[in-house]
């Protein structure tokens, strides 16, 4: 933080996010030292959204008291599933019973702004089970839900099992069915589907992630953390030991950096904005990019306007529910 205290010079910081790994493992003293340094080096807004990701089993009464003292005002709790067998399969340390307790305990301690994470698409995710999971989550009274289709990464236990045919690949058709059921069920309960994987009650969208999707500048600290200042992107070394070694030696480079061309900036804008309810802003496109890029974009997007995947309203291109099933594919085809 001391090395990079001019990165967002003269910018007011609206959000602070303690993200994964598992920041809830940090002690009160450790979290305080990080916050103290942030407030010393940066202009932090007086009403900043300060989020901490947590595992359900870490949110003891004592831990919640600590977080309150530190003025953490938003929790993101990784519930993932209400099925014990599925949690073991996903290598999670907590049980389904910890889910309800962690959320209720947090609410009792005065945390109103709570987001929970769910995963769907595993071999346990039959439609009936998924409906129960959604209903149990809604019943908890949380204001925000992030839900992700399971992805199996290489070089993980699940990845190796898939390679050895001990596990079956993700069924895309089943995942689509679960995704549509989630939209239907949550919107009925007044959750707004404001980004492909995120649902929030009014006034409870994630400010931090919304800023990212809107292309607002940010800085990331720690191994593998990313930063963006509008014209370049940089990412820190992922290896913990190498990161510590290099950052301790001012002559060693601890990050990679990429200067963004106009084409890069356009592609990033399309990728992030198309995923949201705010969509791709035609006025912004014409003010930010040259006419050739805009013309190429308009030629490509026309076919989606005729297939009910995208609608054009109030000068914005927005995905329909059907289009949301193919968001990444559509975005990639719009790239320059």
pLDDT at 171: 85
- Give the position of tokens 């050739």: 292
φ, ψ dihedrals at 78, nearest 5°: -85, 75
Q: Where are the beta strands (DSSP E) in 198-279?
A: 198-200, 226-228, 232-236, 255-259
Query: What are 158-205's pLDDT values in tens digits?
Result: 778 777 787 777 788 999 999 999 999 999 999 999 999 999 999 999
Strands 280-281 and 316-319 come out as: antiparallel
pLDDT at 91: 86
CB 24 within 8 Å of CB 52: yes
Whole-angstrom CA distances from 18 to 7, 29, 86, 138, 295 are: 19, 15, 26, 25, 40
Token digits of residue 247: 């950052």
pTM for the full predicted model: 0.94
- Give the position of tokens 């090395």: 3
pLDDT band at 21, cuts 50/70/90? confident
Q: What's the chain's average pLDDT?
A: 94
Q: How far apart are CA 225 and CA 34, in angstroms?
A: 15
Query: What are 200-246's pLDDT values in tens digits?
Result: 999 999 999 999 999 899 999 999 999 999 899 999 999 999 999 99
Structural domains of the chain, with CATH: 12-212 (3.30.750.200), 221-259 (no CATH), 266-334 (1.10.10)
């Amino acid at each position: 933080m001391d090395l990079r205290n001019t990165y967002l010079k003269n910018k007011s910081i609206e959000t602070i996010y303690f993200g994964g790994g598992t920041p809830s493992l940090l002690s009160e003293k450790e979290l305080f030292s990080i916050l103290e340094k942030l407030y010393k080096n940066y202009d932090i807004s007086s009403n900043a959204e300060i989020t901490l990701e947590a595992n359900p089993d870490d949110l003891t009464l004592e831990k919640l008291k600590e977080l309150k003292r530190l003025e953490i005002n938003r929790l993101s709790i990784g519930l993932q599933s209400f099925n014990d067998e599925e949690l073991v399969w996903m290598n999670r340390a907590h049980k389904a019973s910890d889910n309800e307790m962690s959320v209720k305990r947090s609410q009792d301690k005065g945390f109103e702004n709570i987001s929970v994470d769910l995963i769907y698409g595993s071999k346990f995710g039959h439609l009936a089970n998924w409906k129960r999971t959604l209903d149990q989550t809604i019943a908890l009274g949380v204001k925000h839900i992030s839900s992700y289709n399971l992805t199996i990464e290489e070089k993980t236990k699940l990845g190796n099992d898939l390679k050895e045919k001990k596990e079956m690949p993700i069924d895309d058709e089943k995942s689509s069915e679960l995704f549509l059921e989630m939209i239907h069920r949550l919107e009925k309960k007044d959750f707004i589907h404001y980004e492909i994987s995120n649902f929030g009650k009014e006034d409870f969208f994630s400010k931090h992630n919304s800023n990212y999707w809107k292309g607002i500048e940010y800085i990331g600290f720690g191994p593998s953390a990313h930063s963006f200042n509008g014209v370049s992107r940089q990412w820190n070394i992922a290896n913990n030991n190498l990161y510590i070694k290099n950052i301790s030696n001012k002559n060693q480079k601890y990050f990679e950096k990429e200067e963004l061309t106009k084409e890069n900036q356009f592609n990033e804008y399309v990728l992030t904005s198309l995923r949201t309810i705010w969509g791709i802003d035609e006025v912004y496109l014409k003010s930010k990019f040259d006419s050739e890029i805009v013309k190429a974009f308009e030629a490509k997007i026309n076919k989606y306007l005729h297939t009910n995947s995208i609608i054009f309203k109030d000068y914005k291109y927005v995905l329909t529910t059907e289009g949301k099933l193919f968001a990444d594919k559509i975005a990639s085809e719009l790239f320059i």
